[in-house]
Chain A
Amino acid sequence: MRDLLERLRVPLLFGLLIVVSLVALASDRRALRDRTRGDGWWSTLLLEVAMPVQKTLALPAELVSDAWSRYVDLVRLRQHNERLEARIAELEDENLQFREALVAGGRLGRIVEMREDFAAPMLPAEVVGQDVSPWFRSILLDRGRSHEVRSGMPVVTDRGLAGLVTATSPHAGRVTLLLDRQSAVDAIVQRSRARGIVHGQGKDELEFVFVVRGDDVQSGDVIITSGMGGVYPKGLRIGDVVAVSADEERLVHTARLRPAVDFGRLEQVFVMLRRGPTLDLLYEGEGDEPAP
């Protein structure tokens, strides 16, 4: 009998515990239904113990979860930041374009005035290159013969005269700037009408050679084209007198000019689609068709 009990003790214990559990379950359900169930001391004690233990156990998980949330937030923040930076770049680009449009608008306004003054069509052209040699001062335009650009046509900006078209191809044109040593423009002083020739010096200054007739050229005077020779129309601004040579014994004096056009920042110019009769004759024999 003892051996039998020893062999069956686990099944017996199992059965007993199951019965106890089911009885407890039934009585607890009845107590719950009758609302007579109270919290036993064991339950209270267990909950009291469970709360701080569970809180402590939750702490690492909370820390990990918090760190993960922060990491995710950081990643999102980075993505958001990247989006915002891209947006800023986009807006800056847009702003730049607006500014450019504003500047171009101002230029165009002045060019329109010039066009009305000189009664000549103006063809806008982009400066696409500078002279490859340091000894010459010329620029390359993106307009050529296919755009009705011919050698001998004056090139201007909203500030004044820039140079003369001296060579063309179907889609490009070379402009010899006023600064070039080969350049010479018949000019007058706007205030006193004293006449002379403006020469390029190969540097960022011009030289005005004039015949002295009293004290009629002063520093600050504006020099404009005279219109003589038929190359440039009359009245195009060339530059301002910076200094006049003081050698009274010479008949011919010179003055240093600051060009009206900032040649260092040339981006866009306008080709005046007109050519004087002198240049028509000059270029006609060299295969360059006359201007329309």
Chain B
Amino acid sequence: MRRLVTAWTLGVLGLLAGGALAGFLPYGWCPDAGLLLVVIVALRAPGVSGCLAAWGIGWVTDLLSGAPLGQYASLRLLAWATTRLADHQLNLRRPVLQVGFVALLTCADAFALAGLARLVGQPAAFGLPLVGILLPHALANAATLLVVDRAVAWSLARLGDREGTRPALRLPAGPALP
């Protein structure tokens, strides 16, 4: 519960900071703090608390943005699940892989958002306009992931969550039981 609240609080603060920063950066160059935190939560808190935290961050994003309620909640849950899956398959503990994954996830997230918007009859950008914003956005997210990750680890350590400061431990599969 403590980790959930911490992750969610950090998510809210990250979103607010992102909103504050967006006014000073060129359009598209502001990192998506919500998405980054969901990825970090997925890597550090793989269980129920992480899933709930991602969902909560999505809801706050919905409320703070002009999106219909539930849109970002669904997308953040999907991002969390994708990260969990990628971590399981690719072992995302290496920073280079994390950065590359976040860039790809940002693109996938944008296309998923557009697809979901189409699904519920909302106008959404596709094609060149989307790419024009997406590329700098993906770069900004990739460039800030490690910084945000360190900030989250530092915050969790200050709050006494020793477990959360380390990425989720993956045990190698042993030989088949007889």
Residue numbers of A with Cβ under 8 A of B are 9-10, 13-14, 17-18, 20-26, 28-29, 32-33, 42-43, 46-47, 50, 53-55, 57-58, 61-62, 64-65
Contact = CB atoms under 8 A, between A and B. Distances in A.
The 4 residue pairs across chains A and B that have the minimum distance between CB atoms? A24-B70, A25-B70, A58-B20, A57-B20
Given A14-B81, A22-B70, A62 B52 contact: no
Interface in B66-80: 68-71, 73-74, 77-78, 80
Given A10-B48, A25-B120, A62 B24 contact: yes
Given A21-B73, A21-B74, A55-B20, 10 more contacts: A13-B52, A18-B77, A21-B71, A22-B74, A23-B70, A24-B69, A25-B71, A57-B17, A57-B21, A58-B20
Interface in B148-165: none
Contacts of A24: 69-70, 73
Contact of A10 (B47, B70, B78, B122): B47
A10 B120 CA distance: 27
Contacts of A22: 70, 74
B60 interface: yes
B51 interface: yes
Given A43-B63, A46-B63, A57-B17, A25 B51 contact: no
20 contacts: A9-B48, A10-B47, A14-B81, A17-B55, A17-B77, A18-B74, A20-B73, A24-B69, A25-B68, A29-B122, A33-B121, A46-B63, A50-B16, A50-B19, A54-B16, A55-B20, A57-B16, A57-B17, A61-B21, A61-B23
B58 interface: yes
B51 A10 contact: yes
B64 interface: yes
Given A17-B55, A54-B20, A29 B64 contact: no
B19 A54 contact: yes
Contacts of A28: 68-70
Taking chain B's interface residues, is the majority helix, strand, or loop, or is none over half, making it mixed?
Answer: helix
Instruction: Name the interface size band of chain B.
Output: 20 to 34
Contact of A21 (B16, B63, B70): B70
Interface in B25-71: 46-48, 51-52, 55, 58, 60, 63-64, 68-71
A42 B20 CA distance: 21
B16 to A, nearest CB: 5
Contacts of A61: 20-21, 23-24
A17 B68 contact: no
A32 B68 contact: yes
B1 to A, nearest CB: 14
B51 A14 contact: yes
Contacts of B74: 18, 21-22, 25
Given A10-B47, A14-B81, A61-B24, A50 B52 contact: no
A65 B24 contact: yes
Contact of B48 (A13, A32, A33, A64): A13
A10 B17 CA distance: 30
Contact of A47 (B63, B70, B81): B63
A232 B60 CA distance: 107
Nearest to B121: A29
A58 B71 CA distance: 26
A285 B92 CA distance: 109
Contacts of B73: 17, 20-21, 24-25
A11 to B, nearest CB: 9
A17 B48 CA distance: 11
Contacts of A57: 16-17, 19-21
B86 to A, nearest CB: 15
A250 B140 CA distance: 107
Nearest to B17: A57
Given A24-B73, A25-B69, A46-B64, A53 B16 contact: yes
A21 B71 CA distance: 7
A176 B65 CA distance: 95
Contacts of A20: 70, 73
A20 B70 CA distance: 8
A50 B64 contact: yes
A203 B131 CA distance: 89
Contacts of B122: 29
